[in-house]
Amino acid sequence: MTLNEILVGRRSCRRFTAEVPSREVIETLIAEALTAPSSKNTRSTRYVVVTDPAKLEIMSRMRDYGSALLSGAPVAIVVCGDAQASDLWEVNCSISATILQLAVEEHGLGSCWVHVKDRPHLKDDPSAGSAEEWLSENLPIIPAGWRPLCVVAVGYPEVPAKPHAPKDDSDKVLWVE
Ligand SMILES: Cc1cc2nc3c(=O)[nH]c(=O)nc-3n(C[C@H](O)[C@H](O)[C@H](O)COP(=O)(O)O)c2cc1C
């Protein structure tokens, strides 16, 4: 699979088969994500790999929208940043999560980014606190000092991804010559 094929063919996957990717595959994915560039080479991104179905079910309830898919995912990788290691830990996490999602494709797996940082637990009730607070209270698995940016759900796609139709994106690019 070429990088172009991965980039053009990748879609978010929200429904997975029951097959659990092997630990070896997950370790390879993490090793590949760990190659991500980072500000000042601080390598501030950390990963929490969750495979326990009961914990995935709890995690799926961290938000009342957009996180339910986690209960049907065989693996969830919480992409965290060590805020002490870099003031740009969120940017570093974003790059790491993106590279993780691209690596996933090469292994025949699918993934979906589920955002955590600055997302409310309940979208219409800010008093219910943030998804991050809800997670730390209801599923205290993230080590102190690590801040979650997002969760990347990973598994074998139930149906093959249908690539986006080609678009005219010419208005998104400005050439200065
Ligand atoms: C920063 C970011 C946050 C996202 N948050 C969620 C989310 O919370 N839940 C979800 O189901 N998908 C989420 N997604 C996936 C997007 O909805 C998806 O990438 C977008 O609709 C484009 O579809 P595609 O990935 O199939 O190309 C997120 C993606 C990004 C990059």
Cα separation, 144 vs 138, in Å, equals 15
pTM check: above 0.75: yes
Ligand 1 proximity of 116 Cβ (cutoff 6 Å): no
The reply to whether 135 falls in a domain is yes
The reply to whether 176 falls in a domain is no
The count of structural domains within the chain is 1
Closest Cα to atom 3 of ligand 1: 115
Average pLDDT of every residue of the chain: 97
Kindly compute the dihedral angle of the four CA atoms of residues 119, 121, 122, 127, in this order, to the nearest 10 degrees: -100
68-83 pLDDT, tens digit each? 999 999 999 999 999 9
The reply to whether 44 falls in a domain is yes
The reply to whether 174 falls in a domain is no
The reply to whether 35 falls in a domain is yes
Query: Which of 7, 10, 11, 12 for a ligand 1 pocket mutation test, highest count of atoms within 8 Å of Cβ?
Result: 12
The reply to whether 173 falls in a domain is no
Helices (H), the chain: 3-9, 23-33, 53-59, 89-106, 131-138
CATH number of the domain that 141 lies in?
Answer: 3.40.109.10
The reply to whether 166 falls in a domain is no
The reply to whether 116 falls in a domain is yes
Residue 10 CA, ligand 1 centroid: distance in Å: 12
The pLDDT-based confidence of 85 (bands split at 50, 70, 90) is: very high
Instruction: Provide mean pLDDT across the span 161-172.
Output: 94
| Pairing assessment for the beta strands 75-82 and 110-115 based on DSSP bridges | unpaired
Ligand 1 proximity of 114 Cβ (cutoff 6 Å): yes
Token digits of residue 36: 């991500």
Closest-CA residue to 78 (of 155, 153, 20): 153
The range of the structural domain enclosing residue 28 comes to 3-159
46-63 pLDDT, tens digit each? 999 999 999 999 999 999
Cα separation, 3 vs 20, in Å, equals 25
**Looking at residue 20, what DSSP letter applies?**
P
Instruction: Provide mean pLDDT across the span 34-53.
Output: 98
